[in-house]
Structure 1
Amino acid sequence: MVRLALPTALTLVPLRAALPRIADAGADGVRLDLRTELRAADLSATAARELRHRLGEHGLKAGPAVFPTRGALHDEDRLEERVAGIVAALKLAADLGCGTLSFRPFRLPASDDAAATLLGEVLNDVARAGAHVGVIPCLTPAGNATRALEALSKVTAGPFGANFDPAAILLGGGEVAAALRTLHAHLETVTVRDAVTDGEGGREVPVGRGEVDWEETLALLHEARFHGWATCDRTSGPDPFGEASRAIEYLRAVVSS
C-alpha cells in the first residue's frame, strides 16, 4: 500500500492543532502548502527542523509539498517572480523533508505551440533548482497526459516528475487509466480525488462516488511500482477534511478486499 497523506490546510486550524487531527484520521503523513500555510520568507531552517520533530511526535512524516502557482508555468505574466517563488519553495521543501513539490493542475500547450518552448525552458530551470536541493518538482496534468509526457521528455537539467490527479484528468477530458499508463515512468506522487463528468465538464465528488475505478487505478500504481505518497484531498463540498479522511478508509478497504 502506498503511503497516505492528508493536507494540513483542510483542517482549517493552526498547523500545531492540525497534526493530532491528521494522526487520528489514520494518515501516514501530511501534505504542506508552501504558499498559503508556510512561506520560505517566514520559516527558518531551525523552525523547519522543529516542525519535523513535531510531526514525529504524532507518528507522522512530511509527505509531499505543494506550491499553488497563480499562473501556468508557460504564462509570461510575472513569470520571473513565479519561478523565484518556486525556487524558494523547493529549498523550504528540502528543509522540511518533503521529497516532492507539486504545482496546481493546468493545461499544457501542444508541442508545436510557441508556449511549449518557454515551458521547456522554465521546467529545466526549476529542475536544476530542485536537483540542487534534492527535491523533485512535479507537474499536475489536467486532461491531456500525452502533452505532459512531451513536456517532461524535454527536461534534461534534473529530475522532474508527475503528480497524478485522476479528477484533474477526468475534468480535463482525459481518461484515467490511459493517462496513468502514459505517465507511469514519471510518477512521483498522487492526489486522490474523484469526479463525475457531464456535458459542462463535471464536478469533484467524494472518493468512491465518481467515475474513477479505484481498483484498477491502485492495480496500475502497483504495476508501475509506485512507492510514493498519495494525498487524499477534497477541494469542495461541505466537509472537505472529513471526506478526505474517509477516502483513506475507502482506499484501504479497496486494497484489503
Structure 2
Amino acid sequence: MNNKIGVIVDSFRCGVREGLVKAKQVGAEGVQIYAVSGEMDPDNLNAAARKEWRSYIESLGLEISALVGDLGGHGFQDKTQNPAKIEKSKRILDLAVELGTNVVTTHIGIVPEDENGEVYETMLAACRELSEYATSLNAYFAIETGPETAERLKRFLDKLGSKGVSVNFDPANMVMVTGDDPVRGVYTLKDYIVHTHAKDGIRLREVDPREVYGALGYEPLDHAKIAKEAEQGEAFREVPLGEGAVDWPNYLRALKEIGYTGYLTIEREVGADPEADIAKAVQFLRQFRA
C-alpha cells in the first residue's frame, strides 16, 4: 500500500486549527475539513483568509485530501431546494481548488430503485449540473458510498455522461447499512473512486437505509442520529479500524489492483477518545505499507 493517510479534522471534535495540529501529531499526511458552515464556510472566507488557511496548512507539512460539502437534508432529492444547494456546492468546490484539493465529498441522498421516478430524475439533473461544473475545474464531487448498493450507484453514475461526480468510497458504511461487500464494491466502482474514508464497523441486523440516511417524504439526514446509532444502536456499530467487518487486507489489495493512489482518510464519528482511536488507526494503516 502506497496510499497517503489522511484524517477528517472534525473527528477530533475541536476547532479546525487545533484539529490540524492534532492531525500532524498523530502522523497524518493530509486532512479533510468540513466546509459547509462556521469558520470554513466559503461564505465566511475572503481571498486573504483563503490564502492564510492554505499557507497555515502547508506550514504544518499537511495537504488537504478533500473538503466535506455534505449539505444534509435529503441530499438532492428535493427539486425545490436544489438550486440553492447546487450553488452552495459549487462555491465549496471553488474553495477546495483554492486550498489545493480537487475533491469535495458529499451525500446526494439515497439513489432510488425506481429509475423512472421523479426523485431519480431530480437527482440526475442536479448531479449532471454538478458534474459539468466539477469537470470544468478538473475536480470532483465525490458521493459517499453506503446508502445504496455499489451496483445501483454505478448505474446512476453511468448516466451522468462525465466523471465530475464520482465516488468517495467508505467501506464501513457498506458493511453497516446495506451489507454490501466493500471488496466487490471497489471493482464495481473502480472507474469512479477518487477518495476514500478509512472507517470500520459491524452490522447487527438488517436496516432500512432510510432509517439511517433519510429520504424525501420519510425524514431528512440527521448526522447526530447517525452518530448515536453508530455508537449505541441496535442495527450497526462503528468500531476502531481493524476491529470490524471490513476485510482490510483484501480491500486495500483491491484498491491497489484498480490503480487507486489517493488518500485513505480516517473518519471516527464515535468513541470517548477519538484522538487515541485515530492515532491507532494511522498505525493500523501503516502496517500495510509496502
Q: Would you say the 8 A contact 1:31–1:231 is kept in 2? A: yes
Q: 1:75 & 1:237 partners in 2: Cα distance?
A: 33
* 1:93 partner letter: A
Give me the whole-angstrom Cα distance separating, in 1, the residues matched to 2:162 and 2:5: 30
Aligned pairs for 1:64-143 within 5 A: 64-70=66-72, 71-76=74-79, 78-104=81-107, 106-110=109-113, 111-142=115-146, 143=148
Q: Which moved more, 1:147-156 or 1:212-221?
A: 147-156
| Equivalent of residue 47 in structure 1, options 46, 49, 52 | 49
Q: Return the offset for 1:109.
A: 1.1
Distance 2:109 2:237 in 1: 16
Match of 1:231 in 2: 265
Match of 2:186 in 1: 180
1:23 match: 24
Residue number among 189, 193, 204 corresponding to 2:199 in the alignment: 193
- 1:171 aligned to 2:176? yes
Moved more, 207-216 or 230-239: 230-239
- Answer yes or no: is the 8 Å Cα contact 1:100–1:135 preserved in 2: yes
Partner Cα separation in structure 2 for residue 235 and residue 10 of structure 1:
6
Deviation at 1:157, TM superposition (A): 5.0
Instruction: Give ranges in structure 2 of 5+ residues lacking alignment.
Output: 207-234
- 1:203 paired residue number: 237
8 A Cα contact 1:107 1:141, kept in partner: no
Q: Residue type matched to 2:12 in 1?
A: T
Q: In the alignment, which residue of structure 2 is the partner of 1:32? A: 33
Give a deviation string over 1:101-130, Cα, whole Å, max 9, x none: 011374211224332222111111111221
- The one-letter amino acid of 1:23's match is K
| Aligned mates of 2:69, 2:244 — CA distance in 1 | 26
The answer to whether the 8 A contact 2:163-2:192 is kept is no
Give the corresponding residue for 2:278: 244
Instruction: Count how many residue pairs are aligned between Structure 1 and Structure 2.
Output: 256
**Distance apart, 1:251 and its partner CA:** 0.9
Q: Which amino acid in the other structure matches residue 171 of structure 1?
A: M
Return the alpha-carbon distance in structure 1 between the equivalents of residues 159 and 108 of structure 2: 19
1:77 CA displacement: 5.0
Q: Distance in 2 between matches of 1:153 and 1:226?
A: 19
Paired residue secondary structure (1:226): coil
Instruction: Determine the C-alpha separation between the residues in 1 that align with 2:125 and 2:108.
Output: 19
Which residue pairs with 2:289 in the alignment? 255
Corresponding position of 2:154 = 149
Task: Check 1:255–1:157 CA distance in 2 against 1; reply closer, same or farther (3 A cut).
Answer: closer
Q: What code does the residue aligned with 2:130 have?
A: V
Provide Cα deviations, 1:83-109, integer angstroms capped at 9, x if missing partner: 121111111111111210011374211
More displaced, 185-194 or 64-73? 64-73
- The answer on whether the counterparts of 1:120 and 1:155 sit within 8 Å (CA) in structure 2 is yes
Structure 1 Cα separation of the partners of residues 118 and 184 of structure 2: 27
Bigger CA drift: 22-31 or 40-49? 40-49
SS in 1 for 2:190: helix
Q: CA deviation at 1:163?
A: 0.4
- TM-score, normalization by structure 1: 0.93
* Cα RMSD, aligned residues only: 1.8
Aligned equivalents of 2:14 and 2:84: distance in 1?
29
Which letter maps to 1:117?
A: E
Match of 1:219 among 249, 253, 258: 253
Q: Distance in 2 between matches of 1:69 and 1:165?
A: 18
Larger relative contact order (Cα-Cα within 8 Å, sequence gap ≥ 6): 2
